[in-house]
Amino acid sequence: MNIKTKRMHWVTVGYIPMVLHNYEGGAKEKTSASTAKLLQRSLYLMLGRCMEASHTGCLITLQDGTTKTASPCVLLYFCDYPEERNLLSLKQHGRKHDCTLCLADPQSFSGRPGLNQRKRDVIETVTAQLRGACFQKEHGRCAEVKTIEKSMGIHCRVLSLAGWSGLGSGSKHLYQVTGFDRLHVRAMVSPRCLPLWSFCLIADIRP
């Protein structure tokens, strides 16, 4: 809905294939992949214009009538680890490279060795995801796709948030911008009332 005109406009995000759990092999994996792709497409439709404005800036009129140039920024808050990994197209717990921020193996998390692990590089990771997505589109779940996913602990899917200035370019804070929001968990009445993740949009305003 357009908040100014109140006009309702529907946009097709994608088509979800029907998966028959009792008859299809790998049904659970297919269902999970379809849901993840739908999430990434939805994020792009919701935030695509903001992503573009984060690179080029946009003009906003303040209450006093002056016009300023603003660049939207985004902060991400999660309530659980699985949703953080889903949003960033990373493998879940129990796989190689469980840490979102670095490329540490599970056995090196504790102690001093875990402090010196190589940080996850945004360009390297997203480039691998894009390369794997191209392979998967042309050849399906081929050996190249599985090798990429296993070696970096990722899913080969196009990552929408990587298009945001400051997350995928500039300071490259894609894996540092996330945080776990525990404030509203204490007041939660029912688990169904708890959003799994939320966005906080802020703007860098320049004269």
Domain holding 37, by residue range, is 27-206
Q: What is the mean pLDDT of each run of 10 residues along the chain (207 residues)?
A: 81 68 70 84 87 89 87 80 86 78 70 67 94 90 90 90 89 84 48 55 68
The answer to whether residue 93 is domain-embedded is: yes
C-alpha distances (whole Å) from 36 to each of 43, 66, 89, 91, 111 are 11, 42, 8, 12, 34
The answer to whether residue 137 is domain-embedded is: yes
The answer to whether residue 85 is domain-embedded is: yes
Three-state SS annotation for 111-140: CHHHHHCCECCHHHHHHHHHHHHHHHHHHC
pLDDT of residue 20: 67
Contact 167, 174 (CB under 8 A): yes
The answer to whether residue 17 is domain-embedded is: no
The answer to whether residue 11 is domain-embedded is: no
The answer to whether residue 21 is domain-embedded is: no
The answer to whether residue 15 is domain-embedded is: no
